[in-house]
Amino acid sequence: MQVYFAPLESITGYVFRNVYETYYGGIDRYFTPFITATDSRRLRNKEMRDILPDNNSVGCLIPQIMSNRAEEFLRVADQMAELGYDTVNLNLGCPARTVVSKGKGSGFLARTVALDRFLREIYEKCPLKISIKTRLGVDDPEEFLEIIDIYNQYPVEELIIHPRVQKDYYKNTPNLDMFAEAVKRCRMPLCYNGDICSVEDYERIHTRFPEVSRIMIGRGLLTHPGLALAIKGEPVTGDITRIGKYADAVCRAYCEAYDRGSRCFSR
């Protein structure tokens, strides 16, 4: 089973990722919190700091881009290629009102014609592999059936599904019946994301979807940092000591970053 650390804006920046990897690890892919593609040529300083290879000591890091305009997405992807990345991830899942009101994140899922046009252009022109992180839709999980047909037309590197709709935010429970429908219909590799907070939660998903070999975990790894290792059959021993050292190291790393003037707290 491959385990990914979900992007959590304001939390899983490079300072956090590096410390987590040192004290726990067991993560096959980390994802940056979303980089907002704008019409400006330059990334914001905090976004640049987060993706600079020199600042990152984790094995595999995928930059995530939030955009609904192909030329802006492509410009950021080119910058990622220059830095040596070979894959980027497109955010089609963010439920925040400020994002959705601009037709981005999960808000883009409501405009299927525009989404299709956007995907056609980025998959034609982007020099990098593109994976997608998605919700099921905006209001109704059934929206996902049309969205799957759109995704299936493109060489999506992998599709990470958080099976809630935008209006759920983080309430209600992930819709496993619609995830099952995606397992049947999707042509690309799938990754399951949502509410895995214990080994038992993981086993429930794995038992129902044995063909899915990738999971992404966010909040569960914050509350139970040894969870990825436990899922992989390496239960963490001496956890009280380890968690104390880890918490100290997180604090120290943020203080050092603050001293360096990087103001990384904002992401």
Ligand X SMILES: Cc1cc2nc3c(=O)[nH]c(=O)nc-3n(C[C@H](O)[C@H](O)[C@H](O)COP(=O)(O)O)c2cc1C
- Does 8 contact ligand X by CB under 6 A? yes
Please identify which residue in 193, 226, 227, 231 interacts with ligand X, judged by CB under 6 A: 193
The 10 Å Cβ neighbour count of residue 19 is 21
How many Cα atoms are found within 13 Å in the side-chain-facing hemisphere of 153?
14
Shortest approach of ligand X to residue 230 CB, angstroms? 15
- Report the residue number whose CB is nearest to ligand X: 218
Contact pattern for ligand X over residues 30 through 69, marking x by CB under 6 A: ---xx-----------------------------x-----
Helix or strand or coil: residue 205?
Answer: helix
Interface residue with ligand X among 194, 224, 225, 226 (CB under 6 A) is: 194
Shortest Cβ distance from residue 64 to ligand X (Å)? 6
State the sign of the Cα–Cα–Cα–Cα dihedral 239, 26, 158, 213: negative
Cβ contact 2:213 at 8 Å: yes
Choose between 75 and 267: whose C-beta lies nearer to ligand X: 267
Residue from 17, 29, 104, 162 in contact with ligand X (CB under 6 A): 162
267 is a site residue for ligand X (CB under 6 A): no
**Token representation of residue 142:** 């059934």
User: Rounded CA gap, 255 and 252, in Å?
Assistant: 5
7 binds ligand X (CB under 6 A): yes
d(CA 171, CA 167) in angstroms, rounded, equals 9
Interface residues with ligand X (CB under 6 A)? 6-9, 11, 33-34, 64, 91, 93-94, 133, 162, 193-196, 217-220
